[in-house]
Structure 1
Amino acid sequence: MRTHTLLPSLLLIGALSLTTACSSGSAEPASAGPRATSGSPSPVRTVDPARLKGLEIVNDSSEQRSCPFATSYPDVPGAEAMTAAMKKDVEGRLATFREGSCGNGSGGELNISHQFLVASGDVLGVRLTTQDGSAASGGLSTRTYWYDGKAGAYRTAVDLIAGGARNAFVAGLKERLKGREGVDSVSLDDTFSAPASVTSALGDMAFTTDGGLRVSFDRGVVGPPAAGNYVVILSKKTVTPWLSAFGKRAQRQTVTPTSSLDLGATQTPAPVVPTHTASGDDDTDCQKVTCIALTFDDGPAAPETATLLTYLAQYKARATFFTVGQNVASHPELVHAEAAGGHEVGNHSWSHPDLTKLSPEQIAYQLGRTSAAIKAATGKEPVLFRPPYGAINATVRSATKLSPVLWDVDTEDWKYRDSARVAQTVIDKAQRNSVVLMHDIHPTSVAAVPQILRTLTARGYHFVTVSHLRATL
């Protein structure tokens, strides 16, 4: 089932982001740290996903600490073949994770995030970064996906290189890798011994802003796993003669992007954004009436969040949205509509990792970047955050000034995609001043809301934001 949720640019998870190779022909092993705290190791041009017409973010996630996962990839009109390739890879990884790690107490976490590399002219490039804590080697891997709008075809990273130039290209990479700590000639020869292994090894290639090519190797591909990840950056002068026709267009669109993306889509869905505006502050006195706070995690999602806002407006109900930063970046108009409708917008991290497994700097980056995106969309910084999976400790608390919010009623709507069941769970478990956990990325959860609003309103409940509930108790 498709669900929507979990950037102009992504927090690259893991040691990959800590690599600082910048010169032509450099190759450096990365640190084995679990997640990065800051930007890309080589210059990349920021892509604003909000300008991509018809963009949807396809997502899935859990709120169960024994089975923590959050996956995300973009669906861009016209690039259906590329979307299908990402879907197959993400769903395969998720199925393997759920079969092998969920409920076994391993403490592993699966997080798949996305980053737009280029979205210009007839070229689309996306990187998926996967952190699989259940994997023996540390689980960090990256892969780039490319779409050629001119040919109407999905391209792998190796397709950036002309077929007749691949041997020379590989030889150039091997030459730059030789002599690096942990790399030996036997390992390199094995890695590049056959076309299939070449395609697998060269799974992550992308252009820098100056036209160079950055080639990233996952842990264990060109050296022992303990050595970490390796990156080679080839200068524009070096790599251009080896590029395919598509590779040259991708290079050009990265260096000098146009103002729009046209992949030849036959139909681009028009964005639907509610225009309801709340009248003044909420004057509900929760000491005198029965209040409840509905909260929605992981969005915004198109079109689910827009539909939900319409339902809430019909009952003059207010809610709290704990948004994921990379989705805020893709759909700021929906976050603006949330705030305009009288709802509260909270912080749910940038890419939905378990914050208790991060350093204070990494936690601050996840929450700070998301707060900045929320402020850009609404004009106001959030005051609340919900830690993914409800995972919080002293380190998380001390890394932010945001106030944490958990929940009293868990609908488990991420697990049970059944509108009637979700609605009945809320109706049966609702108590005065309850905080209810739901997700606006699931169509089934959104579809449950009218019954919840109708039934609980008839019972005298008033729907308020978390901050209003706290302030009036």
Structure 2
Amino acid sequence: MRKSTLAPVLLLLGSLALTTSCATDSVPSKADSAPTGGTDRGTDPGGGVDPATIKGLKIVSDNSDDRSCRWAASYPDVPGASSMTDAMKEDVERRLAGFRGEDGSPSAQCADSSGEPGTNGAELNVSFSFLVASGDVLGVRLTTLDRASAGDGLDTRTYWYDGKNEATVSAFEFMTEDSQDAFIAAVQKTLKGKEGADPASLDDTENRTVYLDDMAFNADGALRVDFDRGSIGVPAGGRYTVTLPKATVAPWLSDFGKRVQRRTVRPGAGLDLGAGSTPSATVPTHTADGDDTTDCVEVKCIALTFDDGPATPHTATLLKYLAEYDARVTFFTVGQNVAAHPELVRAEARAGHEIGNHSWNHPDLTRLTPGEIRSQLTRTNAAIKAATGKEPTLFRPPYGAIDGKVRSATTLSPVLWDVDTEDWKHPDASRVAQSVISTVARNEVVLIHDIHPTSVEAVAEILRTLTDRGYHFVTVSHLRATL
């Protein structure tokens, strides 16, 4: 699919500073260090986890660029906590199946009654943040935003791994079995003062773990319990938060609960889940030989661009392919992935590639408030600068969705594309390669994703074939500067 971009974008950058009404609803407040909706609403309980310190961490990411069915999902895969990864994977896949109508759900957002793609502007976004990653305790929050669902569409859930016992446990297991009733009574007492809440919902012993699926400790040791909108009260009541002081919950905590609290308040030097030594992936060390002097007026140039990374091990493999052909490209990176793998972003920059901004967690920016848009881009800029020492000047809006509000919220230059490989739809290396080789023309921008192994595999053929045809591979900024 082609989206003619380069010349129009150049004109827009030079002459248009469009402004529009900013009357869009923001996502309801939720303390989360990786917000799905956009704006940073504070820090997670405990906060301060640097994912780059988790050895062997992989971020599992995927998305769809289908205009009528936009979704993006990511969750962490931490060595030694495979059962927790499996639980998150099952949750994400279940949500995606319902959203896309693959489970026959009548509430599917991406298909109408005939099974054809819908046009209701549906969007599903699943992102993550680390609550604790210290010693033998791992905690992760998944935040899901379903734009087309009832209420605010926001759902949060925490996942916990007990490395001491090598088990995935629920947040409700912070409490000993004997203290659960006292804990519930304390939560209910606090909820009684909140308009629209129904504390009696927690009398349902069979569903308590469902209602209490988002719990974590604050940095001062207090226990915070968050309830999604409509889960224990009328939707109009909004989201509820109950915070119980450290002294109150102390007598009720299980051994695991005590360890979670302690690791939150005083995190250790690193995560040790008893999985043995997990070596980090090898990062390419290729260094660019000076500035690119390619004259795109005299020779044929194209700009390959890669979205959604960095991803391990795929991005490292891609960098090796690019070094073999002295090709320079532009990476549009997702902030939460940059934070997890700054070493890959440094390797990209060291090799002479350009680093662009692709938002923090891949939402449709046109559906956010100006403040949320700025947060998405500013946080990602900061992560890129921390990794490379340099802030980006370009951004690619997720799904290519951009309007005057988005342009007005940032000074970054937007970049779309001319050739879309649609590699998210076709995990076939040969097909992806041919989608570029058979269609690309001089001075065009090509969209690929380095989170897919088949797409990375396709790059080898693209480089080989187009080099033989006399093409030179340059960054977007270099292409713009020489035209």
TM-score of the aligned structures, taking structure 2 as reference length: 0.90
Q: What residue number does 2:177 align with?
A: 163
Give the CA deviation at 1:95: 1.2
Task: Kindly provide the CA deviation profile for residues 112-133 of structure 1, in whole angstroms up to 9, marking residues without a partner as x.
Answer: 1101001001000000001011
Task: Kindly provide the CA deviation profile for residues 4-51 of structure 1, in whole angstroms up to 9, marking residues without a partner as x.
Answer: xxxxxxxxx9313279xxxxxxxxxxxxx9946223367533100001
CA contact (8 A) 1:220 1:229 kept: yes
Q: What residue number does 1:188 align with?
A: 199
1:409 aligns with 2:419: yes
- Give the aligned residue type for 1:107: G
Distance in 2, Cα, partners of 1:45 & 1:395? 31
CA contact (8 A) 1:18 1:36 kept: no
Give the CA deviation at 1:293: 0.5
Distance in 2, Cα, partners of 1:469 & 1:75? 37
Where has structure 1 moved over 6 Å in runs of 4 or more?
none
Distance in 2, Cα, partners of 1:206 & 1:385? 34
Q: How does 1:307-386 map to 2 (within 5 A)?
A: 307-386=317-396
Give the CA deviation at 1:225: 1.0
Q: What residue number does 2:136 align with?
A: 122
CA contact (8 A) 1:77 1:267 kept: no
- Give the aligned residue type for 1:432: R
Distance in 1, Cα, partners of 2:412 & 2:293? 24
Give the CA deviation at 1:164: 1.2
Q: What residue number does 2:28 align with?
A: 15
| Aligned match for 1:300, one of 294, 310, 315 | 310
Q: What residue number does 1:288 align with?
A: 298
CA contact (8 A) 2:38 2:373 kept: no
Q: How does 1:231-250 map to 2 (within 5 A)?
A: 231-250=241-260
- Give the aligned residue type for 1:180: K
> 2:30 is paired with a residue of what secondary structure?
helix
Q: What residue number does 1:101 align with?
A: 109
| Aligned match for 2:154, one of 129, 140, 146 | 140
Task: Kindly provide the CA deviation profile for residues 385-437 of structure 1, in whole angstroms up to 9, marking residues without a partner as x.
Answer: 00000000000000000000000000000111110100010101110011000
Identity over aligned residues, as a percent?
A: 64
| Aligned match for 2:269, one of 230, 237, 259 | 259
Distance in 1, Cα, partners of 2:316 & 2:269? 27
Distance in 2, Cα, partners of 1:138 & 1:43? 22
Give the CA deviation at 1:271: 1.9
> 1:15 is paired with a residue of what secondary structure?
coil
> 1:285 is paired with a residue of what secondary structure?
coil
Q: 1:382 to 1:105 in 2, by over 3 A?
A: same
Q: 1:348 to 1:333 in 2, by over 3 A?
A: same
Distance in 2, Cα, partners of 1:276 & 1:195? 58
> 1:147 is paired with a residue of what secondary structure?
strand
1:154 aligns with 2:165: no
- Give the aligned residue type for 2:168: Y
Distance in 2, Cα, partners of 1:269 & 1:43? 29
Aligned residues: 444
| Aligned match for 2:55, one of 47, 53, 66 | 53
Q: What residue number does 1:23 align with?
A: none
Gaps of 5+ in 1: 1-12, 20-32
Distance in 1, Cα, partners of 2:265 & 2:227? 23
Considering only aligned residues, what root-mean-square deviation do their CA atoms show, in Å? 1.5
Q: 1:154 to 1:400 in 2, by over 3 A?
A: same
Give the CA deviation at 1:245: 0.7
1:429 aligns with 2:457: no
CA contact (8 A) 2:36 2:363 kept: no
Q: What residue number does 2:72 align with?
A: 70
Distance in 2, Cα, partners of 1:85 & 1:161? 21
Distance in 2, Cα, partners of 1:272 & 1:452? 24
Give the CA deviation at 1:466: 0.3
Q: 1:384 to 1:375 in 2, by over 3 A?
A: same
CA contact (8 A) 1:70 1:110 kept: yes
Distance in 2, Cα, partners of 1:424 & 1:34? 35
Q: What residue number does 1:111 align with?
A: 125
CA contact (8 A) 2:228 2:239 kept: yes
